[in-house]
Every structure is written in C-alpha cells, then in structure tokens.
Amino acid sequence: MRSVRLATMLLLSGVLAAGIAATGCSSPKTEAEKPSGGPTGGPSGEPKKSKEVKAVEAKGSGTLKGQVKFSGDAPKPAPLDFKKTDKKTDIAVCEAGSEEERTDPTWRVGPNKGVKNVIVWVEPAVVGQYFVIPDDLKKPAKEKEVVKIDQPHCAFVPHVEVFYPSYFDATAKKQTATGQKLEVANSASIDHNTKTDPGNTLVNKATNDLIPHMTKNPVSLNFKPGDDKKPGDFDVVKLACTIHPWMNAYVLVVDNPYYAITDGDGNFEIKGVPAGTEVKVNYWHESFDKPKSVKITLKDGETADPKIEELKK
Ligand SMILES: [Cu+2]
C-alpha cells in the first residue's frame, strides 16, 4: 500500500515541482500544495534533485513572524453530540468539560480573525538537504521534554501538538534522538483509549493498534518523522478515541526545531531559522487535505512575515 502511495506521490510531485520557481530575498511565494499519501499529510514526497544528502549552507539566522487569518465570517463551533457514545454513563463527565472541550475543535477563530492550531514549520527548500542544528536545539527545552496530551473530560487537550523526536545528524548521517517524549494521559474518571488511524499516517502506520489507558499512567507514543537515514520527512498523525467517536487530536512529527502552533488569534513566531538560503515554510490546518507551503529567504538578523494566505472553510 505504502509503495503504491509513494509512487503516486513522486509522480504527482514531479509535475508540480516543474512549475515552481525560486524566489528572491524575503519575498514569499505561494507554492502548489505538496502531494502526500495520507488525507492529512505525510512525509515529503518530492523527487530528489540530487541523491546527495547535503547540509544547507546558512548564513546566520532570522525570525519568521506572522498571523494566519480566516477569510470571511468566522464559523461558530457547534456543540459536540455526546449521545454518540455507547457509554451513556460517561455523558455527565463529558458535559463537565470546558466550553472548548464541549464544542467542535476544527475552527477556533479569534477576535481578530486569527486561526488557532495552525502548525507552521520550516524545511530546506531543496529535498535531500538538511539543516545543521545548533547544539542548544538538539534537545527540547526543559518545559518541552515531554509533549503531553491529556483527556481531562471527553476531548484531547491540547488538540494540536508538534513532536520533535529526532534531528538529522550531520556526522552520523542519520536521525538522532532529541530525547523528547510524546505522552497521552487520562486524568478523567472514565476510560479512554488512543488509536492512530492508518489512513492518516504513512511512516507511523505500525502504531495502528488500540492503546487502552484507564489509569493516570500516560502512554508513550514512539512516532518518528520518517526514514531513519533521511532528512526532512514529517508526518501528521491523527489520534482518536473509539469510546467517544468525536474525540481526535493531531500531532505533527518533525525532524527540526523550527516550528510553531498558532495561538488563539492566529499568531506564530519561529526564531533561529537558517538565513541566507531559501527555506520552505509549510503550514497545516486540520481542514487541509495536505500541508501547503510558501518559500522565503531570510537575511541574518531579520524578522519577516512569510505571508500565509487566509484560510477558508
Ligand atoms: Cu474517549
């Protein structure tokens, strides 16, 4: 199945790549959507321009800063239908959740029309290349050693996360662990389970099994961004609970530290982004079939807006 998907991806992306031109300094350009295997994303599937795995030659670093906005009238999140669970005794617990836990999490649009939970991340513009990660970013910040998703009532909180389990090591020429862990906890008084949908992940399809956890001991999920010998892969993994069919969450698995999730009003900021070289700024919202991207070249010390287009429902 995977090889068929990959072959299709490579074929499609070859056609698209032919139409993509390079851009100049700090001038973002919208690129055609990147084809990928899963409905919500998948590893980079573009053809290699060269088989050589090569370091990006950066000159300093800059900051990407911007806002992802919604086009048109903001949708109002509909209440979730808790009657959809077969465990009717759970409903009282579900109803005790916060407003965010009780309403459809797909669109969270802030007062200034910014869209929450859009993931923005950077990868080298040339497939096969990799960023040389500075030592201080080869491991997670203290407060991010564990990326934790909880289920306090009947929703995954947070709903969207990024997991950075490994980076491509220049010397070893392979993915090397950052030490970051991804854990799903259940602090509710009722049972939940966590499963990954094989239709929504390529590289992590092996984790497609039920992970029951009715205790407060969190379950550790060993997702990886892609091939251990390759740089630049990523995967969007969807988590679901089979007991409560409305429950889902998304985890983007990446191999570099240059990422952000938009806040309640769509704002994002990514510091330390390699400058002096063109980079690809990917962005993804759960309404997308696959991630989209723009390209930009930062100057050393510069803060620039990659100008992500407004999202529509
Ligand atoms: Cu559940």
Give the tens place of pLDDT for each residue, 265-294.
999 999 999 999 999 999 999 999 999 999
CA of 219 to the centre of ligand 1 (A): 14
Q: Beta strands 278-284 and 292-297: pairing type?
A: antiparallel
Calculate mean pLDDT across residues 142-167.
96
CA of 206 to the centre of ligand 1 (A): 21
Q: Is the pLDDT of residue 49 over 80?
A: no
Percent of the chain past pLDDT 90, that is, above it, reads 67
Which residues, including other chains, have CB under 8 Å from residue 270's CB and lie 6 or more apart?
63, 64, 65, 120, 121, 122, 258, 259, 260
Are 260 and 211 in contact, with CB atoms under 8 Å apart?
Answer: no
Q: Which of 308, 313, 310 is nearest to 30 (CA)?
A: 308
CA of 40 to the centre of ligand 1 (A): 21
pLDDT of residue 220: 87
CA of 7 to the centre of ligand 1 (A): 36
CA of 85 to the centre of ligand 1 (A): 9
Q: Is the pLDDT of residue 77 over 80?
A: yes
CA of 11 to the centre of ligand 1 (A): 39
Q: How is 179-236 classified by DSSP, letter by letter?
A: --EEEE---SSS--EEEE-GGG-STTGGG-S-EE--SSSPEE----SS-TT-SS--EE
CA of 245 to the centre of ligand 1 (A): 8
CA of 165 to the centre of ligand 1 (A): 26
CA of 152 to the centre of ligand 1 (A): 10
Are 64 and 120 in contact, with CB atoms under 8 Å apart?
Answer: yes
Q: Which residue has the higher pLDDT, 33 or 97?
A: 97
Cα separation, 296 vs 256, in Å, equals 17
Q: Which of 260, 294, 27 is nearest to 164 (CA)?
A: 260
CA of 241 to the centre of ligand 1 (A): 5
Highest mean pLDDT among 43-47, 162-166, 185-189: 162-166
pLDDT of residue 216: 60
CA of 38 to the centre of ligand 1 (A): 24
CA of 188 to the centre of ligand 1 (A): 9
pLDDT of residue 21: 33
Would you state the structure tokens that stand for residue 136, as one six-digit string? 């201080």
The model's pTM: 0.83
Give the tens place of pLDDT for each residue, 169-228.
989 999 999 999 999 989 888 988 888 876 655 566 545 445 555 566 788 888 999 889
